[in-house]
Amino acid sequence: MNKLYINPKHKISHINPELQGHFSEHLGRCIYEGIFVGEDSNIPNTNGMRKDVVNALKAINIPVLRWPGGCFADEYHWKDGIGPKEKRKKMINTHWGGVLEDNSFGTHEFMELCRQLGCKNYINGNVGSGTVQEMSEWVEYMTFDGVSPMADLRKANGHEKPWKIDYFGVGNENWGCGGNMTPEYYANLYRRYQTYVRNYSSENQIKKICCGANGMDFGWSDTVMDICFRAPKDFHGFMDGLSLHYYTVPGTWEHKGSATDFSEQEWYTTLKKALDIEYAINAQECIMDKYDKENMVGMMVDEWGTWFDCEPGTNPGFLYQQNTVRDALVAAVTLNIFNKHSRRIKMANIAQMVNVLQAVILTDGDKMLLTPTYHVFDMYKAHQDADLVESFIESEKIGLDKEYLVPNLSESVSVDKDGKIQITVANLSAAEEYKIESILADTEIKSASAEIVTGEIHAHNTFDKADTVKKEAFKDINAEGGKITFTIPAAAVIHIEIEAE
């Protein structure tokens, strides 16, 4: 019997809805086909956005969407994506698959997508190959509500009123595809570029995000914080967020491993590598705490997820991969970790939303399927905007190779705005079920309901059989007094909602 101790009265930190954010890049079939099909498409759409995809995304309360990249962001020149579509520049997306980019999805279309999704926007600017003027003008174009060259251009393009920018990234992966910079060089550029990301209205205070580390590259974060964050009293420094990128790659970058055809050992290796994100988070947290003692700057894990070999027969530059119960477990343990670090983590964006890497949705022509990862997000949305509370689960180390042992169980618990207790538990074992007794301090349980995502470890959804892995009601749960007991099957993620007396 594994015990799960919960203290619902001990609130630790607020879980920003943005911890369940998403990322959409001009990469493969993420934007084009996956989201945007154009108004003339036979696929049902609203202003060019696929209705099926938008509706599915709305159902999981997408809180924020990052765009246009990724590596694409530092090659993107926003003026190519505005104005009459037939006049927009066409070019080759050299970074991702060498396909034609016709710029039919640009600023107006992205803002329209966020409007339809009802989510915040996170726009990533170009430092690698763009100028300060270009970045500054983009912000003016989107947010200035007066007479100015860029505001007038926006109006001429059919959008009278300015939009609001929620988050603005000043470059992406500038240690790599965003210009191969040294941390000192980038940090100085960051200070300069962000100066011109102006707040044109008091109602729109743009949250500026500085490029942080690649996984465990702590030297980068330390230098960038040192140079870019100065926080004398009442001054916010130069940033609101520092990013962190972390991908789970079971093999090497050359041979990452198949998304669907993997051994039990690879199951554990993948989960161990996914759990290792906590080392990167802990380290970046320490560095941020050193400079920002008042916890003003958010850690933004704006790219995370599994990265496997692309599906056989697909363009390797499209990063299209299937998604199994293994991905569901990676999502569950990662989101539990984010919850536990919600004091510092203020946003996270899974890579990527549709048809790329650990996608929540896959499409094929007019067909669409929801992946196991989607169903985990669907359960975890209960944590959005809730308060993390104290919890601890007894666990043991399991696995086949001592280098890749993982805890058998992972959990996080929150109390939402209505006072309901939201528990999420993942069983990382490929084969064993576990009985769990959950003890809730000072709580009389009035009602408890649960749902589950589980399956054979390789199970996944296909366009012919889209419901193999799905969220289902979980009835086998016993609640009495301040205790609940249940048995979690192997390779499963459970969400329990409790109403207390």
| The one catalytic residue among 33, 101, 112, 173 | 173
- How far apart, in Å, do the first and last CA atoms of the chain sit? 26
CB of 391 to ligand AHR, least distance (A): 32
- Contact between 355 and 291 under an 8 Å Cβ cutoff? The reply is no
Q: Judged by CB, which is closer to ligand AHR: 121, or 352?
A: 352
Six-digit token pair at 459? 């199970």
| The one catalytic residue among 33, 303, 411, 451 | 303
Q: Judged by CB, which is closer to ligand AHR: 31, or 426?
A: 31
Cβ-count burial of 1 within 10 angstroms (0-12 exposed, 13-18 middle, 19+ buried)? exposed
3-state DSSP assignment of residue 499: strand
For binding to ligand AHR (CB under 6 A), which residues are involved? 25, 69-71, 172-173, 303, 351-352, 357
173 is catalytic: yes
Q: Judged by CB, which is closer to ligand AHR: 71, or 283?
A: 71
CB of 411 to ligand AHR, least distance (A): 28
Q: Judged by CB, which is closer to ligand AHR: 70, or 455?
A: 70
How would you classify the pairing of strands 49-50 and 21-23?
A: unpaired
CA torsion through residues 177, 178, 184, 187, sign: negative
Q: Residues near 131 by Cβ (< 8 Å), separated by ≥ 6? A: none
> What is the Rg, in whole angstroms, of the alpha carbon atoms belonging to the chain?
22
CB of 359 to ligand AHR, least distance (A): 11
**Residue facing ligand AHR at closest CB distance:** 70
Cβ of 365: how many Cβ atoms within 10 Å? 10
Cβ of 40: how many Cβ atoms within 10 Å? 7
Q: Judged by CB, which is closer to ligand AHR: 78, or 434?
A: 78
Q: Judged by CB, which is closer to ligand AHR: 22, or 381?
A: 22
Distance from chain centroid for Cα 128: 23
CA torsion through residues 392, 398, 403, 406, sign: negative
CB of 287 to ligand AHR, least distance (A): 21
CB of 247 to ligand AHR, least distance (A): 7
3-state DSSP assignment of residue 153: helix
CB of 242 to ligand AHR, least distance (A): 15
- Nearest-10 crossing angle of helices 277-291, 264-275: 10
Residues catalogued as catalytic:
173, 303
